Each structure stands twice: as structure tokens, then as C-alpha cells.
Structure 1
Amino acid sequence: MDLEDYRAARHHHLVEVAAGLGVPADRAAEVVDRVIEAQRRRILRSADPDEVVVPALRDEVLGRPSRGPTLAIAALVVVVAAAFAVPLLTAGPDPEEVERKAGTMPSLVGLTSEEAVVALRSIGIASRIDPVPQCDPAGQVLGSVPPAGGAVRPEQVVTVVATATPAWTCPRDTVQRDEAWAFLRFLVSGSGRPRLAREVRLYVDGQPAGTADGRQPATAPDWRWRVRDPVVASVVRPVANDLGQPVVSITRGPLPPVTCAVPTPRPSGVGPDPTRVVLTADADPREDGQGEVCQLTIDLFEDVAGAIAVVSVVIPGGTGLGPPPWVRTRDDLDDLDGRGAADGG
């Protein structure tokens, strides 16, 4: 294929791929041009130059295992460090400190790939990113090698497996997938910020569980007690699969009448097709008494403006008899207020 014909036809797409891998927008075109020039001879001989250029672009941006800090990581490390307030080691960590801290692989659920690199570096663990093309937004951590809970040798470079922009066409649900991942990060790591309504109605195990302020972080009491704590406790445990963390699946459409043996909420004032996020934590999941495989499920219902106005969470192992003990409903709070008044409080 003629080099200039290929450049004219695919340059814009390749710039989008580079940006999805973390290259700053004002540098993406420059990086793409450099990769095309470096692969000139292979492009001329190839029947499908994308099979040459896209892997070369990923190597250029993300680096091979033997390379040092990569372009994407170097460009974003200051931003990520500020967001997480994670101290970066400007010099190599003390060998004894590395040996002490690099004993067990931590969970990376709810981080982006760049955030994971920074977090691991802060505890003396070197890492590289292994991009896996998916239709989910680029840079979402899928797991690690070794998996969470696995042993890490002091000299080992662990692999962070993360989503990357695919070469194929994806379904037209990009916005919903972006929002779903942002909500997961909002809960677990605090780095995501989906579009939330001012007042978000909450359901836990099929029952109303009060409201939360959509302007507040997930560490605010209303979010934390009802949703964040039980979700985090469930998803950060090491999982018995190759990557050590739950497999995230995102769908959009009508919901089944029952989820994990409890009725699926049908809230008013929201659209009929919510986004469902399922986190599969079991390599060999067991069916419940009704033949349903029960996993942690988060349903995100949007209002007419497209903001998430209702969040429904089902925790595996729930009783199906309402919110678990850590959830304080409005009725509970009213009862407490009544008792306090009766006691003269």
C-alpha cells in the first residue's frame, strides 16, 4: 500500500488510538507520524497496514517490559499523583523497602492503568501495561499478573492488564459504558465522576435505602454506608481467576423481574432502559435456588436529562429481605429520632 494513501485514510483513527492509550491530545499526531515513518517499509509490504502500525503504536506509547517509564505514563503521572495524593519515588526505592513491600500483589479494582502504575510504584512495585482491545473505555484496569493476593518478587515487573481502543467498530453505547466505569471508579477509588443527579435515590437488595447527594464524593456518609462500603468490601477481595479481580460486564436494556432472588426495583421518573453493571467474582459461580447465577449487580437509572438519578445495588449472599444491617433507611432514622425525643434527647 502507498504510504501517503494509508496516512490520509487512517491518520485520524490512529490519533484517536494514541489518545486512548494516554498520549496528550496535542502530541498524539506527532507520535502517530513518528510510528508511521518508523514502520514505512513494513507498511509498504503489508496487506493490512493497521496490523503493523497499531501494535507498533502501542509499543511506542506503553513500552515493552524491558523499557522504562513510557510516554503516556510520563505525561500523566503528575496529574494522577495530584488526584490520589500518592507520593512518587523520585529515586529508586531502598532495596530493603522493596523487599518488604513487594510481597503481595494488591487489588487494582477501580483504578485506571496510569493510576495503577503510580499506586504500585509508591509501594516499590515496578509494572508495565498490557493493553487488551475492548469496547469499554480505554485504560480501565481488568486485573494483573500476578493476580491480586499473589506473591511479587522484589525484582519482578508485574503486568497491569487494561482495556485499549479496538480496531473494530463498537456498539453505540459508548456514553453508557463510560458512565458505568466512571461510577465504579467513583465508588472504589474516588477518581471517577459520572454525571449524577443532585439527589440520587438508592436501593439495596431490592428495597429503598434513602437518598444520596450527587454532588458529594462516595466517601460522604449517605453514599458510604448504603453503597460504597458493601461494594468495596465485595470487589477488592482477591478473585480466583487469572487476573485476580471481578470481571466487569456492562449491558443496557430492560431488566429481569428478579435479581438474585429479590424483585428488581421499578423506580418512577427514569428511563426504561437502565445500564446494568455485573461484577463476576467467582470463576465457577453457583446458581441460587431459582437457577440464577448471583453476582454483585449495580443498576444505573437515568433521568430525562441523562443524569444517573437512581442506583440499585444487589450484594451476593443477601437475604432478599431488605437492606443489610449497615444500611440506615429513612424509617430507621425516623425511629431513632422518635426514641431520642421520647428520651428527652
Structure 2
Amino acid sequence: MSIDPVELARALIACPSVTPATGAVFDVLEAALRPLGFDVHRFVRGEAPDGPVENLVALRGSGGPHFGFAGHLDVVPAGEGWTTDPYDAVIEDGVLTGRGANDMKSAIAAFVAAIPARQDAGSLSLLITGDEEGPATHGTVAIIDWLEERGIRPDMILIGEPTSEAALGDTIKIGRRGSVNMWIDVPGHQGHVAYPHRATNPVGTLARIVAELDGWTLDEGTDAFPPSNLEFTEVATPPGATNLIPGRASARLNIRFNNLQRGDDLVMRVTDVVKRHAPDGTVNALISGEAFLTPPGLLYDHVVSSIREEVGVEPTLSTSGGTSDGRFLIKLCPVVDFGLPNATMHKVGEHAAVEDIRALSRIYARVIEKALTPPTG
């Protein structure tokens, strides 16, 4: 059976699947996988507001080596300003346009089209979630639980996130920074600005907290990671009149951190600063994931050599950018992210070059062949 990666990508894009995703888009993927000999398992986890989320695990073959591919079928909302229907998957001048064309339905289609018909070597799996763009509460974490309950563990996993920068193959992700969001709240006592002795203004206290944290140097980075950085994303007080001292002030921050740091330690350090300035202040935190790094090994070699052979590019091994579900999957085995050029991910008019999708499929085919060939010696 021969699958055209571009046509499969178009079929996936035609199924609106704003996170958290369930239903039709998984039907399309299952219909493509079953004729290739995969046992397809689908399960739904979670309830509103973070769910329900559908997940798919497709398995073929037995024994080792076991090569896994991970990805997500959920997308961010289309937004306004498209010149075409974001779910119509239009091809014009060699470019496929639609929500998910870049991140990352085309990569999933490219991998499916790359799967060999022969089934005489090793095992293949696809680990596909409908909850990567959202809270990721009931997605890949649930897939990992499903695999562990059945004693299934891939030897290596390739994630099809769009990692390339200027050209296909120029960048692969060998690790990702951790991410933690924190919400700081400083209480005060509301009052009239003309009678400050009858109120407690929290703004100055919060300003001192913000100034201290904004001046932090967390580390100088490593050979594999850039320096960790703290960025404030919001500072606010409740709406009020121009003559009203607010009763509280709040700030929100995000820290993207390398493997010199741990999320819990960073939360503790920020809390210490807040408590020193505002004993009644509070810090709430959400750690999206810890930093991780895949050490050099067979997975590096397979992906790098396949890119070099197919498109003649020597990829940069990077840990920059946002996080991915690799932060969960690293628990199972070595993980690398590699996919299309990412310039239009999440943007209005998201698109991918048709030839890039086809070339990506050919690269994936080389990776699969190498990964399913047992090492010699």
C-alpha cells in the first residue's frame, strides 16, 4: 500500500481538532494505519476543562529493536485573518496551507507514508495524543501509563515537532528546557489615595519583588543549553478608580531553565524572595516540565545520517525553543525531535512546502530502516 504524505496531511487538516482533540481526526489516522498491519488502540481520558482527550497507540511487529514515533493531532485555534479556510488544506504554488500543516499533522502523515510494507524486522509504534497544545494533562502522560501497564517500552522515540529553522534538516532538538509558571499575589488594604495612613498599598512591595527577581542571573548556561531566564508576563492590580489604593497586586512570571536547575528549587527560591518582602504574599506554581537532554547514541546517529544522506544538510543539535512531549517520553528511552521548518507554526496562514513534506517522509523512511536494523558487532 502506497500512501501520499501530502494527501494524508490534507485529510488530517480537514478534521478540525482544536485542543483537546477527539474523534474524526483519529478516525483518519486509524484508517491509514490498519492496512499497514498496525494494531490500533484508542482511549479517551479526562473531563472538562482539560478533557476529554483522545490518545492513540499503534503497534506493529514484535521483539527488538523497537522504534517509536510520537506526535499530536490537536492544534491551536485558527484565529482570524486567514485568506483561505484553515481546514480546507489548500495547495497553491507548491505550498500546503491549513491549521496543522506545520505543527504537526504533516509530520505525522510523512511518518505514516514512510512506514515500510515489510514487517520482518523489529517493532514500530506510533504514540499520538490529542493534548499537546493544551495542558498536556491527559495526553502523553496517559500514553506512557498505558504502555507501562502492558510492559511496552520503545528503545528510542522520534518526535515529529517542527524543529528546522531556515531549511529542512538544519536543526534537530536533542533536549528541551524546563518551564515553570508562577503567580505572585501581594495583599494590601484598599483605601482612598488621600488617606494613605488608612490603607496599605501593595504596589511598592510588589515592585521591589519584581525588581529583585528581574535582576537574577540564574546560571551561565552549559555546552548544550543556553542560560536559564526569568521573564515577567503580567503585573496587575484589580480595576479601580484613579483615587483608589488597590487591595492587592499580582504578577505572573515564567522561567525557562536548563538542566542545572530543577522546577521545585526555582519555586522555592522565588517564594523566599516574596516572603522576605511580603510575609503574607503567596506564590502558586505550575511546572510544565523539567529540562532534559538525550545523550549521544544510536538515535542521534540515525537521524543525523538520514538528514545528511537525503538533503545534504549537517544539522545543528539544539535545545532552544519551547518544550515538547519529550519531557515526558524521556522517562522511557532516548528522545529526539525533528520535523519541518517551523516559521509558520501557530500563525495565521500556517503552511508547509509540499516538497518539504515529501522530503521529510523520505528522511523518516531512512531513519526507520536504520532503527529497525539490529546493530552489528
Q: TM-score, normalised on structure 1? A: 0.24
More strand by share: 2
Q: Which has the higher contact order (CA 8 A, sep 6+)?
A: 2
More helix by share: 1
Q: TM-score, normalised on structure 2? A: 0.23
